[in-house]
Amino acid sequence: MPASKSDTSVAPRSAATRKRTRIQQEKEELILEAALDVFARHGFRGSTIDQIAEQAGISKPNLLYYFRTKEAIHRMLIDRLLDTWLEPMKIIDADGDPISEIQSYIRRKLELARDYPRESRLFANEILQGAPHIQEELHDLRELVEEKAEIIRGWITQGKIAPCDPKHLFFSIWAITQHYADFDAQIRVVLGTTGEGEGRFEDAARFLDQLYVNGLKG
Amino acid sequence: MPASKSDTSVAPRSAATRKRTRIQQEKEELILEAALDVFARHGFRGSTIDQIAEQAGISKPNLLYYFRTKEAIHRMLIDRLLDTWLEPMKIIDADGDPISEIQSYIRRKLELARDYPRESRLFANEILQGAPHIQEELHDLRELVEEKAEIIRGWITQGKIAPCDPKHLFFSIWAITQHYADFDAQIRVVLGTTGEGEGRFEDAARFLDQLYVNGLKG
DNA sequence: AAAAAATTTTACCGTATGGTCAAATTTACA
DNA sequence: TGTAAATTTGACCATACGGTAAAATTTTTT
């Protein structure tokens, strides 16, 4: 079944159906890694294809052989990101101990901020611009939050944690944890040269543990 | 004392020394207002001079008559912003009641997020990109935080609030309050169509009051 | 090794963008 | 009102940028 020239014979770029070559896998990975770096530092509009290509160590047309457009790279990065990003929330367990479930959630989110700061900034950039590329994905998030908020409400009804607005609870956890990745430049200055290491994440974990454990005690 | 042509006779743009004309004041204000809108929506690199000029209702060369470069507009916006931004922190009073001082601080920061979301996003964009334009100003912030952190430590020593890391306390407050401006796109989706009004700020205020009052009780 | 497929490079194109220049127009002031 | 200063405009420029076309090269398959 021959199709239009652009998606057969010569051009396997973004070949969704076709079996992927070894080189294809390697190069796509290389490009995505470079793009994540550049996008996280300069935002979507602030990043150029040339920049990404240079960072990946390949030529611009070669990059465009694997991804048709700059948007395509960005979209793939965002898609991957969201899986990682929502994982901690998905595993919140209604049958677990409420306080330690929330503690775990905070700790996991903080680990993400520490270990994947570029992903956090990529996401922050996207939302700051009004989330133009991920309206649909955001609606998946909405359903997930709805489901987990129901769990929290259950805990409140059972008197296991203090009454509070579950959604704003989530907002606060997202905000604080991601803040350590997104506002890193500010945090480093405020903490001073002594705060160069990753110790700030441990300090943050201690602080947040206390804040939320006391703040949510039933 | 005649100087080079560019900064005398014809070109009063960015006339720091010269007495400012009525038209100069009006137009500069107009441009800054338009630029704030555009920068907040698209970030620095994502905004074009043409966009700003159009939003201001003037021509591009006319805009460049008042501000030599795009950077100059941005810099002036950031400078103005920081004053407003740090005000709530400056008025934290060592002699006030600790809990209500912190409550007030949170409330004020939340009001800023509600009333000046564009400024919040402008700032967020700048920090996300690594704060390239405001390293000096950030050091002023550092000193201010140092000073206020000392006040918090005093309250802790006196047993008026629970022991905690003062700087991380501030980080958490900044993060959460600004989150309501910066991640507005996400919050709207999660809260759903019912959350269209500004009621979310009242809900947020209630939630945060509870979280911090309980969380910091000595 | 030859043929086919996949990959890479060189040269290039149209548009967007930051910014300039000199002329035209408006405003302020004596 | 006349004149100098201030303001505005239209035409323009160099560069950056996203992306394309086709030839050249490498890799895979037979």
Could you give the CA distance from residue A52 to residue A97 in angstroms, rounded to a whole number? Answer: 45
The Cα-based distances of B153 to A207, B104, B142, B161 in angstroms read: 14, 18, 16, 9
Digit-coded pLDDT (tens) for A31-48: 999 999 999 999 999 999
- Tell me: pLDDT of A15 over 60: no
Secondary structure class of B161 (helix, strand, coil): strand
| Residue A61 β-bridge partners | none
Listed in order, the ranges of chain A carrying CATH 1.10.10.60 are 11-68
- Tell me: pLDDT of A17 over 80: no
pLDDT at A195: 67
Listed in order, the ranges of chain A carrying CATH 1.10.357.10 are 80-216
Comparing CA positions, the residue from A58, A55, A119 lying closest to residue A87 is A119
At residue B16 the predicted structure's pLDDT band, cuts being 50, 70 and 90, is: very low
**Which residue's CA shows the smallest distance to C1' of C6?**
A10
Q: Is the CB of B55 under 7 A from strand C?
A: no
pLDDT at A29: 97
**Which residue's CA shows the smallest distance to C1' of D28?**
A21
AA identity, residue A19: K
Q: What angle do CA A30, A28, A31 make, to 5 degrees?
A: 40
Q: Does A91 touch chain B (CB under 8 A)?
A: no
The answer to whether A46 and A84 have CB atoms below 8 angstroms apart is no
Q: Does B179 touch chain A (CB under 8 A)?
A: yes
Listed in order, the ranges of chain B carrying CATH 1.10.357.10 are 79-216
Tokens of B70: 């795009």
The answer to whether B155 and B95 have CB atoms below 8 angstroms apart is no
The Cα-based distances of B62 to A18, A143, B15, B77 in angstroms read: 54, 49, 15, 19
Question: Dihedrals φ, ψ of B94, to 5°?
Answer: -60, -30
- Tell me: pLDDT of A197 over 90: no
DSSP calls for A127-186: HHTT-TT-HHHHHHHHHHHHHHHHHHHHHHHTTSB----HHHHHHHHHHHHHHHHHTHHH
Q: Would the CB atoms of B45 and A43 count as touching at under 8 Å?
A: yes
Q: Would the CB atoms of A127 and B164 count as touching at under 8 Å?
A: no
Could you tell me the distance in Å between the CA of residue A116 and the C1' of nucleotide D18?
29
pLDDT at B194: 76
Residue A211 has its nearest CB partner, among B131, B182, B211, at: B211
Residue A130 has its nearest CB partner, among B41, B44, B217, at: B41
At residue A196 the predicted structure's pLDDT band, cuts being 50, 70 and 90, is: confident
CATH code for the part of the protein at B79-216: 1.10.357.10
The answer to whether A8 and A2 have CB atoms below 8 angstroms apart is yes
The domain defined by A11-68 folds into: Arc Repressor Mutant, subunit A (1.10.10)
Could you tell me the distance in Å between the CA of residue A54 and the C1' of nucleotide D28?
28
pLDDT at A19: 61
At residue A11 the predicted structure's pLDDT band, cuts being 50, 70 and 90, is: very low
Q: Does A174 touch chain B (CB under 8 A)?
A: yes
Residue A210 has its nearest CB partner, among B131, B164, B210, at: B164
Digit-coded pLDDT (tens) for A73-132: 999 999 999 999 999 999 999 999 999 999 999 999 999 999 999 999 999 999 999 999
- Mean pLDDT, residues B53-76: 97
Q: Is the CB of B14 under 7 A from strand D?
A: no
User: What's the mean pLDDT when you consider all of chain B?
Assistant: 90
The answer to whether B173 and B106 have CB atoms below 8 angstroms apart is yes
DSSP calls for A40-101: HHHHHHH--HHHHHHHHTS-HHHHHHH-SSHHHHHHHHHHHHHHHHHHHHHT--TTS-HHHH
| Residue A161 β-bridge partners | A217
Comparing CA positions, the residue from A173, A44, A33 lying closest to residue A113 is A173
Question: Dihedrals φ, ψ of B2, to 5°?
Answer: -70, 135
Tokens of A198: 């990753």
The answer to whether A200 and B192 have CB atoms below 8 angstroms apart is no
Chain B nearest-CA residue for A213: B215
Interface test with A, best of B211, B213, B216 (most A CBs within 10 A): B211
Digit-coded pLDDT (tens) for B112-166: 999 999 999 999 999 999 999 898 899 999 999 999 999 999 999 999 999 999 9
Residues 176-215 of B, Cβ under 7 A from nucleic strand C: none
AA identity, residue B115: D
Superfamily of domain B14-68: Homeodomain-like (1.10.10.60)
Q: Would the CB atoms of B139 and A179 count as touching at under 8 Å?
A: no
From chain B residues 42-61, the ones with a CB under 8 A of any chain A CB are 42-46
Digit-coded pLDDT (tens) for B196-218: 778 999 999 999 999 999 999 86
Q: Would the CB atoms of A127 and B182 count as touching at under 8 Å?
A: yes
Q: What angle do CA B24, B138, B108 make, to 5 degrees?
A: 80
- Mean pLDDT, residues B97-125: 97
State the greatest distance between any 2 C-alpha atoms of chain B, in Å, as a whole number: 67
Could you give the CA distance from residue B185 to residue B10 in angstroms, rounded to a whole number? Answer: 45
Highest average pLDDT, of A16-25, A186-195, B174-183, comes from B174-183
The domain defined by A80-216 folds into: Tetracycline Repressor; domain 2 (1.10.357)
The Cα-based distances of A53 to A31, A37, A49, A122, A164 in angstroms read: 7, 12, 6, 18, 48
Listed in order, the ranges of chain B carrying CATH 1.10.10.60 are 14-68
Digit-coded pLDDT (tens) for B37-48: 999 999 999 999
Residue A172 has its nearest CB partner, among B124, B176, B182, at: B176
User: What's the mean pLDDT when you consider all of chain A?
Assistant: 90
- Tell me: pLDDT of B17 over 70: no
Comparing CA positions, the residue from B47, B189, B188, B29 lying closest to residue B122 is B47
Which residues from chain A sit within 8 angstroms of residue B162, using beta carbons? 210, 214
The answer to whether A125 and A39 have CB atoms below 8 angstroms apart is yes
Tokens of B62: 């006319």
